Structure 1
Amino acid sequence: MASDAADSPFFQKQRQEDAIVVTDPPKFDLEPYISNYEGYTRLDRLHHIGSHSTYLAADAYRAAIAEARQGQNVQLLLTLQEEFAQIAPGDPAANIDTAWAEEKTRKVRAELDKLEHELKSYKNNLIKESIRMGNEDLGHFFCACGDWSAAHKAYMRMREHCTSNKHLADMTLRLVYTTIAQKMWLGVQSHLAKVDGAQRKGDEKTKREPIVSACTGLAHLGNGDFRDAAMAFIYTSPAFLTVEPAAGITWQKEVLTGNDIAVYGGLCALASMDRTELQVQVLGNNDFRNFLELEPHIRRAINLFCNSKYSACLEVLEGYRNDYLLDVYLSNHVASIYGRIRTKSIVQYFIPFSCVTLDEMATKFQLTGEFATIEDELETMINNGTLDARIDLVDRLLISPPTNPRYTVHADALSMAERYDHTLRLRLTRLNMLAAGFEIKQDKGGFRESTSSLSESIGASFRGMGQRMGFN
């Protein structure tokens, strides 16, 4: 079935559009994996897996179609069925039920008219709380229909009718939720800043802080800011795993799980931190250790990197590449993250040596397909200044450029002497100016001297300095 799906018109079109297509089976089982999620992200992840994995396409689309039938997003269901019909035309789940779609569309339209009519009556009565709740109900309805832009606008209209800090914080979290669904990461960061800046205290603050931290990391990951993402994830409180729903959203199921935080935080840290930082801020972080327990292979990869076992670290990560390519948030960044980790590993591995054979480098760092040979990869790293080395193609060696320690020590000593001399001259000038009376003193009542007396003082100082220097 997997081979049939790989040759289907749908995946042929995906390859033509340079979309990610994973032909090998991942390490996770679909049913236990997807059972960790609820709400829109469950459907979103199923759709992503089905549209990118030839091995899981049929199972993912069947589960997504069954899930979509229980909701109100008619357009998404039709899209899923149309795509699945290109993969498995004979599957009953791929048959488009036009009558059901028309009936569901009619019910959705009737529900929308009802909510809009209620909101209009609330506005006529000028009851702020009712207007706020009417807009909230309308936002919930649009979320259920998958119209995230309309949901965002409905929640935004709640702002002027919020009468407490809790209402304002809940509204802002709802805006965060809708912008994450649209993958508008700059908007997510903007709304998160407002949540974090709201006046919160006690249990409300304790409950929202882990949510804000996790979503901040997700926003930085979406923007490709791996270091900022790592810092947000690794300092997310373990309370996130058990935090109660906020703004009506179960964040650890409807957005990202504790496993996701471990994977995203671990990979971003590997891509952006050196060994010392990894040891102290990741492995030595008691809070993040609770998340790493959920994904032991990430902890093992970080341990291997810190212990200078770079090839083993890369081997562990390569074993899970397919899994990460099927992650809805991570897939677009896998190549960049893995490339950074590999580059760091090569640089760190080469530091203790004056020269290494190219065959040894090829053995230690197996090619992943981006480069034809290890020489091409090393040449690219040297040209962009990442690796300070030279390639000897005759003897097939990677050579560290020769250094002159004596010259370096002399140059540093001369530079230090010049800085010291410059600092000394400035201080002597300062002392001479104080001795000449060029200091303007100030007390609590303002300047001691008026402009005229100040001029006289400066003139006297100049005359005194001239006499000391032998001028008449």
Structure 2
Amino acid sequence: MELEALRMAYDEIKKGENTQLFRDVVQMIGGRLGPDYAMDLAWCEMVDRRADQKKEKLENELNAYRTNLIKESIRMGYNDFGDFYYAHGQLGDAFKIIIEMSQFAHVSSYVSKAEQSPEALDPVTVAKLRCAAGLAHLEAKKYKLAARKNKVIDNLNFRNFLELVPEVRELINDFYSSHYASCLDYLGNLKANLLLDIHLHDHLETLYGQIRHKALIQYTHPFVSVDLHMMASAFKTDVSGLEKELEALITDNQVQARIDSHNKILYARHADQRNATFQRVLQTGDEFDRDVKSMLLRVNLIKHEYNLKGSRKS
């Protein structure tokens, strides 16, 4: 079975251009299939020479497309490069091309397939795959999938990397410690640098807005009423601006509350859990009482043979 599989692999590989895989298969055969399945150096040299020529041609074409700023041609050039690398077994380079083309749907698919591989992956490969998946989720605006608290501040290994960027470490800790003003200050200081990030710059305004909204929601959640003056002070903003932000969140059903614009107080619409619990208990008691009375009545009727019989027809 092994030799037959190697024979089929040898024949199939020679139809393509992956010379490294060809060399690996020949080494696995080890001369067991005779001279017809030995190392073909002439074929390898010919394919490698042709590959070098094709790569040079693709590079020249892509450079020309970039110079002329023809977007569709640039996309096709990258696509040709990806196919070239894939055909020659250079999967790492092909993967980079996909990232550069922003085909993140393909990235997620390939990462999923790689993680389901029956062969055990080394930790470095797993880390690279998860980084690629994170970038794909970021590009697709799936921010919750791209970041997880237990993977950041609760992760001892990752916490060591946060020590290299203390501002990021502090803003994350401030957010989860409800020190929102300090957290937003750190975000403001980092914004100029983050706008230069090739992956984040398109998402930065959206992410900043969502972080601020999340902070506002978390601030209001524990309270029955909130003084907007105190809240504005906590977020280092003015009351009128804060009121507009809260109005938008209330309209979007992200905050269950109403605003007293005259007194500048936010009143939460929390359900009265105590009263609701009493009402449920009373209702359950009434239902139980009714069921018990019905059962007792039925038992007494049966005991005294009070059975309703239908009249006989003559």
Give the TM-score normalised by the residue count of structure 1. Answer: 0.44
Match of 1:186 in 2: 105
Answering whether residue 205 of structure 2 is matched by residue 335 of structure 1, we say yes
Contact 2:259 2:265 in 1 (8 A): yes
2:129 to 202, 206, 212: 212
Which residues of structure 2 form unaligned runs of 5+? 1-16, 18-40, 67-73, 289-314
- 1:302 to partner: Cα distance: 1.3
Identity %, equivalent residues: 26
How do 1:310-321 and structure 2 match up within 5 A? 310-321=180-191
Q: What letter corresponds to residue 216 of structure 1 in structure 2?
A: A
Number of aligned residue pairs: 237
Match of 1:152 in 2: 79
Contact 1:358 1:396 in 2 (8 A): yes
Q: Deviations over 1:185-211 (max 9, x none)?
A: 21322333344445544xx63442221
Match of 1:177 in 2: 96
Q: Deviations over 1:333-385 (max 9, x none)?
A: 111111111111111112232222222222222459xx972111110000111
Taking the aligned partners of 1:313 and 1:149, their CA distance within structure 2 comes to: 43
Taking the aligned partners of 2:55 and 2:203, their CA distance within structure 1 comes to: 31
Q: Deviations over 1:83-132 (max 9, x none)?
A: xxxxxxxxxxxxxxxxxxxxxxxxxxxxxxxxxxxx9xxxxx99478647
Q: Deviations over 1:39-73 (max 9, x none)?
A: xxxxxxxxxxxxxxxxxxxxxxxxxxxxxxxxxxx
Match of 1:225 in 2: 142
SS in structure 1 of the partner of residue 262 of structure 2: coil
Contact 2:257 2:266 in 1 (8 A): yes
Q: What letter corresponds to residue 377 of structure 1 in structure 2?
A: E
SS in structure 1 of the partner of residue 137 of structure 2: helix
Match of 1:282 in 2: 152
Say if 1:193 and 1:227 are closer, same or farther in 2 by CA, change over 3 A.
same
Taking the aligned partners of 2:271 and 2:108, their CA distance within structure 1 comes to: 46
Say if 1:409 and 1:133 are closer, same or farther in 2 by CA, change over 3 A.
farther
Which residues of structure 1 form unaligned runs of 5+? 1-118, 120-124, 232-277, 421-472
Match of 1:65 in 2: none
Taking the aligned partners of 1:222 and 1:413, their CA distance within structure 2 comes to: 50
Q: What letter corresponds to residue 220 of structure 1 in structure 2?
A: H
Answering whether residue 267 of structure 2 is matched by residue 396 of structure 1, we say no
Match of 1:299 in 2: 169
Taking the aligned partners of 2:214 and 2:108, their CA distance within structure 1 comes to: 29
Moved more, 353-362 or 391-400: 353-362
- 1:412 to partner: Cα distance: 5.2
SS in structure 2 of the partner of residue 362 of structure 1: helix
Say if 1:375 and 1:151 are closer, same or farther in 2 by CA, change over 3 A.
closer
SS in structure 2 of the partner of residue 219 of structure 1: helix
2:235 to 361, 365, 369: 365
Instruction: Please tell me the root mean square deviation across aligned C-alpha atoms, in Å.
Output: 3.6
Q: What letter corresponds to residue 225 of structure 1 in structure 2?
A: K
Contact 2:108 2:133 in 1 (8 A): yes
How do 1:39-78 and structure 2 match up within 5 A? none
Q: What letter corresponds to residue 253 of structure 2 in structure 1?
A: G
SS in structure 1 of the partner of residue 266 of structure 2: strand
1:383 to 251, 254, 261: 251
Say if 1:412 and 1:193 are closer, same or farther in 2 by CA, change over 3 A.
same
Contact 1:155 1:175 in 2 (8 A): yes
Match of 2:242 in 1: 374
Say if 1:365 and 1:205 are closer, same or farther in 2 by CA, change over 3 A.
same
Match of 2:225 in 1: 355
- 1:141 to partner: Cα distance: 6.4
Taking the aligned partners of 1:403 and 1:281, their CA distance within structure 2 comes to: 34
Contact 1:220 1:228 in 2 (8 A): yes
Taking the aligned partners of 1:156 and 1:221, their CA distance within structure 2 comes to: 25
Contact 1:142 1:148 in 2 (8 A): no
Contact 1:324 1:331 in 2 (8 A): yes
Whose relative contact order is higher, 1 or 2, with alpha carbons under 8 Å and at least 6 apart? 1
Say if 1:206 and 1:282 are closer, same or farther in 2 by CA, change over 3 A.
closer
Q: Deviations over 1:252-311 (max 9, x none)?
A: xxxxxxxxxxxxxxxxxxxxxxxxxx3x44222022113212211111111112222112
Q: What letter corresponds to residue 387 of structure 1 in structure 2?
A: V
Give the TM-score normalised by the residue count of structure 2. Answer: 0.63
- 1:135 to partner: Cα distance: 4.6
How do 1:154-169 and structure 2 match up within 5 A? 154-156=81-83, 167=89
How do 1:235-250 and structure 2 match up within 5 A? none
SS in structure 2 of the partner of residue 294 of structure 1: coil
Say if 1:287 and 1:205 are closer, same or farther in 2 by CA, change over 3 A.
same
Say if 1:414 and 1:174 are closer, same or farther in 2 by CA, change over 3 A.
farther
Say if 1:187 and 1:347 are closer, same or farther in 2 by CA, change over 3 A.
same
Which has the higher Rg, Structure 1 or Structure 2? 2
Taking the aligned partners of 2:131 and 2:49, their CA distance within structure 1 comes to: 28
